[in-house]
Amino acid sequence: MTALTPCGDWRASYAADTTIFPTRNSRIALLVGLALLCCAPLVFGRYELSLLINIGFLGIAALGLNILVGFTGQISIGHAAFFGLGAFVSAYLHERYHVPVLLCIPIAGLVTAVIGLVFGAPAARLKGLYLAIATLAAQFILEDFFARAQWFTGGVAGRMTESPVLFGLAFDRDESYFYLTLAYVVVMFLGAANLMRSRDGRALVAVRDHYLSAEMMGINLAYYRTLSFGIASLYAGIGGALYAHYLLFVSVEAFNILFSIQFLGMVIIGGLGSVMGSLMGAAFMVMLPEVTQWGADLLAGSAIDRALKLGASISFLREMVVGAAIILFLIFEPDGLARRWRLIKAYWKLYPYSH
Partner 1 sequence: MDTALLLQLTLNGLIVGALYGVVAMSFVLIYKASQVVNFAQGEFLLVGAWVCWWFLTEWQLPFYAGFLFTLVFMMLFGLVLQVVVLRPLIGEPVISVIMATIGLGIFFQALMKWIFGVFAKPFPPIFAMEQVRVLGLEVQTVYLASLGVSLLIMAGFGWFFKASKHGLAMRATAFDQQVAQSLGVSVPKVFAMSWAISAVVSAVAGVVVGVVNGVSSALSFYGIKVFPAVILGGLDSILGAVLGGVIVGLLENWAHYIDSQWLNWGNMFQIAPFYALVLILLIKPYGLFGTKNIERV
Please give the residue ranges that form the binding site for partner 1 (CB under 8 A). Answer: 69, 73, 75, 77, 122, 125-126, 128-130, 132-134, 136-138, 140-141, 144, 147-148, 210, 212-213, 216, 258, 261, 264-265, 268, 272, 309, 313, 316-320, 322-327, 330-331, 334
Is 102 or 330 the residue whose CB approaches partner 1 more closely?
A: 330
Q: Which is nearer to partner 1, 246 or 263 (CB)?
A: 263
- Least separation in angstroms between residue 144's CB and partner 1 is 5
Provide the minimum distance between the beta carbon of 20 and partner 1 in the complex, in angstroms, as a whole number: 27
How far does CA 31 lie from the centroid of its chain? 22
Q: How far is the CB of 257 from partner 1 (least distance, A)?
A: 8
Which CB atom, from 161 or from 278, has the smaller least distance to partner 1? 278
Least distance from partner 1 to the Cβ atom of residue 208, Å: 10
CA atoms within a 13 Å half-sphere pointing along the CA-CB vector of 10 = 9
**Burial classification of residue 239, based on how many CB atoms lie within 10 Å of its CB (0-12 exposed, 13-18 middle, 19 or more buried):** buried
Cβ proximity to partner 1: between 99 and 287 the closer is: 287
Closest by CA to 248, choosing from 183, 170, 315, is 170
Find out whether 240 and 61 touch, Cβ atoms under 8 Å.
yes
Tell me whether residue 244 or residue 269 sits nearer to partner 1 (CB atom).
269
- DSSP per-residue codes, 192-245: HHHHHHSHHHHHHHHHHH-HHHHHHTT--HHHHHHHHHHHHHHHHHHHHHHHHH
- In the complex, least distance from residue 294 CB atom to partner 1, rounded to whole angstroms: 19
> CB-wise, 66 or 181, nearer to partner 1?
66
Nearest approach in angstroms of CB 109 to partner 1 is: 25
Cis upstream peptide for 352 (omega within 30°):
yes
Cβ atoms of 215 and 132 within 8 Å: the answer is no
Distance between CA atoms of residues 204 and 218, nearest Å: 13
In three-state secondary structure terms, 313 is: coil
Chain-centroid distance of CA 301 in Å reads 37
